[in-house]
Amino acid sequence: MNALNQTLAVLRSAVEDGLAKALEEAKGTNDHIAGLTDFHQAVAHAILGGGKRVRPCLTLLCAQACGMKDPAHDPDALRAALAIELLHCYTLVHDDLPAMDNDTERRGRPSVWAKFGEANAILVGDYIQALAFKTLPTVPEKPLAAILAQGATDVVFGQVADIAAAADPSVCDANHLLYVDKNKTGALFKAACGLGACVAGADEKTIEAFAAYGMNLGLAFQYVDDLLDADQAKDNAEPSILTLCGGNAQKARAFAETATAEAIDALKNTNADTDALIAFANSLLERLA
């Protein structure tokens, strides 16, 4: 296991423990009310059901890059990381709904709506989004809430554009697909990295640089996923970077390589220790090897 993977394993463990603790603290003592026991089980199903925890790990990596020695054990940094993961989990719950992507599975298990019902899934998503903002630390003169709120807003815009493309594929030109990918995927990567720099006390210029890194990293992440899911994309005809490239995987990979290079380039004008972030960006392309 290389140094980056070792670091990520430590960060993921801290995130997993933090999520479990946050859910237990938020649950309170209201399980005696009819329906709430099942509801809390649905919330746990949505949040503790696996996943790579990429976004919260990025928050912690960015905090470390900006000078925080042990972000996984810093209460504010960890809470910022948990907040972005909770926001991500909320988007997945709502994305799976019949009115959206109509997915009955998520991470090899039934999606929340398929297991607990559609109404519960809507409320679970609402609850998790609220919990994300409740979990986010309040630190004077650090605009953490504004960064998270922008990410939440952009994701909604991206989903609206995605629905429009599904209803009428003719609107999904290069600009439309880029808008969807920037908002549905890039926005939360941008928020994750901006939160990490912000909670570590970075200046505005550095926060912006880290946010730009996150946005481009998110695009690279999406393009790599599109390539890895190429067979599935053929089955459901969902627009992707491969659609834009006429099914040419080599051209699609070039988009991923360009986004990765632009992510790394965004870090050049900072005084941060960005070696781990550069290694993380390059590791995405290695998934295609």
d(CA 205, CA 227) in angstroms, rounded, equals: 33
| For helices 144-167 and 118-135, angle between their N-to-C axes, nearest 10 degrees | 150
**pLDDT at position 22, please?**
95
**pLDDT at position 231, please?**
62
Question: All domains of the chain, ordered by start, with CATH?
Answer: 3-286 (1.10.600.10)
Cα R_g (the chain), whole angstroms: 19
Beta partners for 105? 110
Q: Tokens for 260, please give them.
A: 């990765």
d(CA 160, CA 183) in angstroms, rounded, equals: 10
Q: What is the pTM of this model?
A: 0.95
Beta partners for 109? 106
Mention every residue, 6+ apart, whose C-beta is less than 8 A from residue 270. Answer: 205, 206, 209, 210
Length of the chain as a residue count = 289
**pLDDT at position 278, please?**
97
Secondary structure string (H, E, C) spanning the chain: CCHHHHHHHHHHHHHHHHHHHHHHHHHCCCCCCCCHHHHHHHHHHHHCCCCCCHHHHHHHHHHHHCCCCCHHHCHHHHHHHHHHHHHHHHHHHHHCCCCCCCCCEECCEECHHHHHCHHHHHHHHHHHHHHHHHHCCCCCCCCHHHHHHHHHHHHHHHHHHHHHHHHCHHHCCHHHHHHHHHHHHHHHHHHHHHHHHHHCCCCHHHHHHHHHHHHHHHHHHHHHHHHHCHHHHHHHCCCCHHHHCCCCHHHHHHHHHHHHHHHHHHCCCCCCCCHHHHHHHHHHHHCCC
Fill in the amino acid letter for 180. V
Tens digit of pLDDT per residue, the chain (289 long)?
588 999 999 999 999 999 999 999 998 777 788 889 999 999 999 999 888 999 999 999 999 999 999 999 999 999 999 999 999 999 999 999 999 999 999 989 999 999 999 999 999 999 999 999 999 999 988 999 999 999 999 999 999 999 999 889 889 899 999 999 999 999 999 999 999 999 999 999 999 999 999 999 999 999 999 999 876 544 455 778 988 888 899 999 999 999 999 999 999 989 999 999 999 999 999 988 7
**pLDDT at position 234, please?**
46
